Amino acid sequence: MNLTQEDWIAQFESDENGVILDVRTEMEFEEGYIAGAINYDFHQGAAFVADLETLDKSKNYYVYCRSGARSANACAIMNELGFENTYNLLGGIIEWDGDIVEP
């Protein structure tokens, strides 16, 4: 499901089962990320799917990338793998108004 930034963060903040997933490359992730995010690189193909398979499918995943395209595709893949609740951040991190962790 695609959510605006306002809806995405409001829903995450009230979700005790929420996990933030960043699907950008490691290099992109190291430039800054949303606090608490775990990073699985969408461009890793089969390795990305293998990483997804290690996640708890009963959790709710708030997924983002740079612009929202990779994360939308990641959500579709996750849904095919049996994840019930995935939420794509429309506009990605480039339109993010919140805090960003800079490693």
Q: For residues 31 and 26, what is the distance between their CA atoms, to the nearest angstrom?
A: 9
Active-site amino acid positions: 65
Residue 61 CA neighbour count, 13 Å, CB half: 27
Q: For residues 1 and 44, what is the distance between their CA atoms, to the nearest angstrom?
A: 23
Nearest residue to 38 via CA among 27, 22, 53, 57: 22
| Token pair in block for residue 100 | 């960003």
